[in-house]
Structure 1
């Protein structure tokens, strides 16, 4: 995936040198960071055969709730843990309903996606909330740049590294992969499948809250309409990055790189002056090529083994 990313950047840069401008690449990376954070969290439920379609609504609700709290006088840095706790609780709620109501997570999170965004629209009265203390260090530090680099990007790298360690080096990550590989065998051996499912969806909710917090810091407003379609892009990024819908395996770095690839494709369309209506087509084509290539590679490895 890293090779694909580099080839994409250089390939577009050959025909449109302005694409390689540092400001353009950094801006594209910052735009991809929000989906990248959600894709990194999405790896956990996908790896155990679950899906979270509510991250876009959770993202919007996190922005709006944060803006409302700050507008009503809560110090921005104090509002951050409230936002993250709320987002994590919403993700866990998806897991609880899925587990105890015995409803597929696809259906549950499809419903809660509409529910969360509806609450965000109600809180914001259908419009953006601009009345926030924009001169506060929260907006200056998290929404600005450090040494010319958007702060969102190093945070994406750090959080991606943390989630990679959790997924690959902790008991929780091993349980997620084991359950995704064979849920029946995992339950038979005594793994706490229900608890792990709730925790995996809670991680997904947490990362949506982190993305919403950073978006609030950058846009300096709570927009209840922002993030529409982010859930599908995050799932696509995770799949492109090597996370299997059949469960059992995933890659947090791959999901982040997948988000960058999708953002670069969108940016490249702009430089080639291709109508924005073709963005969905290009995204779908990238997903199909990536999934087909991954399937072919796995079949090749199976034959060689």
Structure 2
């Protein structure tokens, strides 16, 4: 293809034309190409949406952009964010765990009761995480032995675990915990300008991203979601991988629970209600498709931060609390619709290139 370069007013003003009548890509095309590349990364679209939302709220209410307020937004997203990071693994396998909110609440209540009965808080916290992993194992056993979908099994354990938390606590908050213990002052405090819980969230993101992308287990998770029949044919054990993932999600729910206990210094049997749907929404908004086969831990956490920013922003706009669920649902629907549109355009572009 022949090209002619015609100077116009000096070297800097040189323009490039093509003899075939086409148009040489200029700055506008370069910007568009950069935008496409940015959106091609699953987590970038939710990152852009989160930044845009925060800036919009900040323009309307400058106080929202203060460091303390932004820290609070991220702090409020920690618990759902950690759970959503694990949920991304499950959704990548075309599975869903509806009991994570109840596991979160029951682990908090049990650890608080152990502390109330004289256990060392750190030991009680470790017991809470192990208990949460055990609840994940209960889910896995139910799925494997009864041979029912995970969504059905965990729908049942959602009620069982929540009911057990309410029964053990007599429906009351578990209080009177040793708030001066390092478990509460450290895990519930700040280090290097950020809450410790946020540092834990960052660590979880780094570790789980490495596990998902660079380990045989992460490969098995994605392979099962992409094509279960092909995964089985290649020797991957779907039952074993499913058990491992359900236990992982349980453990992460326990970690989130202990951070919540350290922050609130009490065990509320109703805490975590609705976390399961928020975690699923955060993972999907962040770029983990329900059809399985791929996942992004970073995107799942960013999705949780986006939902937290929505809830915080509603307070600044004096939206009645009764409308908060409606607004959150509208944001989820819009985000998922835009994500679906972007993915559809990518598929059409690939089809056109392949054709």
Note whether the superposition's TM-score is higher than 0.5.
yes
- Structure 1 distance, partners of 2:104, 2:306, is 21
Please name the residue that 2:108 is paired with: 63
1:281 aligns with 2:326: yes
2:245 aligns with 200
Please name the residue that 1:125 is paired with.
170
SS at match of 2:148: coil
1:258 Cα deviation after fit: 0.2
Q: Structure 1: how far apart are the matches of 2:198 and 2:246?
A: 24
Aligned to 1:239: 284
Q: Describe the SS at the equivalent of 2:290.
A: coil
**Larger of the two Rg values belongs to structure:** 2
CA distance in 1, matches of 2:266, 2:125: 14
Give the match for residue 210 of structure 1: 255
Deviation, 1:131, is 2.0
Question: Of the candidates 61, 64, 70, which is equivalent to residue 25 of structure 1?
Answer: 70
Any idea what SS the aligned residue of 2:208 has? Answer: helix
Q: Is the 8 A contact 1:40 1:238 kept in 2?
A: yes
Unpaired runs of 5+ residues, structure 2, are: 1-45, 351-355
Superposition pairs of residues 147-296 of structure 1, within 5 angstroms: 147-296=192-341
Cα pair 1:50 1:106 within 8 Å, conserved: yes
Residue aligned with 2:180, SS: coil
**TM-score, scaled to structure 1:** 0.98
Query: Which residue of 82, 103, 109 maps to 1:37?
Result: 82
d(CA) in 1 for partners of 2:346, 2:280:
25
Tell me how far 1:107 sits from its aligned partner: 0.9
State which of 101, 105, 111 in structure 1 corresponds to 2:156.
111
Aligned to 1:86: 131
8 Å contact from structure 1 (residues 187, 193) kept in 2:
yes
- Relative CO higher for 1 or 2, CA cutoff 8 Å, sep ≥ 6? 1
| 1:95 counterpart = 2:140 | yes
Of stretches 34-43 and 18-27 in structure 1, the one that deviates more from structure 2 is: 18-27
How far did 1:127 drift?
0.4
4+ residue runs of structure 1 moved beyond 3 angstroms? none
Deviation at 1:78, TM superposition (A): 1.3
SS in 2 for 1:178: helix
Q: Distance in 1 between matches of 2:149 and 2:113?
A: 33
Once the 2 structures are TM-superposed, how far is the Cα of residue 81 of structure 1 from its aligned partner?
Answer: 2.0
Residue deviations 1:242-297 (CA, integer Å, cap 9, x gap): 11111111111000000000010011110000111221122112222222222222
Query: Which residue number in structure 2 is paired with residue 46 of structure 1?
Result: 91
Q: How many residues align?
A: 305
> Deviations for 1:209-249, whole angstroms, at most 9, x for unmatched residues?
01100000010111111111111011100000011111111
Query: Matches of 1:197 and 1:79 in 2, distance apart?
Result: 28
**Unaligned 5+ residue runs, structure 1?**
none
CA-atom RMSD, angstroms? 1.0
Match of 2:121 in 1: 76
SS in 1 for 2:244: helix
Residue matched to 1:2: 47
> Post-superposition shift, 1:80?
2.2
Please state how far the C-alpha of 1:100 moved relative to its aligned partner.
2.1
CA distance in structure 2 between the partners assigned to 1:186 and 1:234 by the alignment: 27
Output one character per residue of 1:71-130: Cα deviation in whole Å (capped at 9) or x when no partner: 111111112221111111111221121122111111110110111111111111110111
Aligned counterpart, 2:191: 146
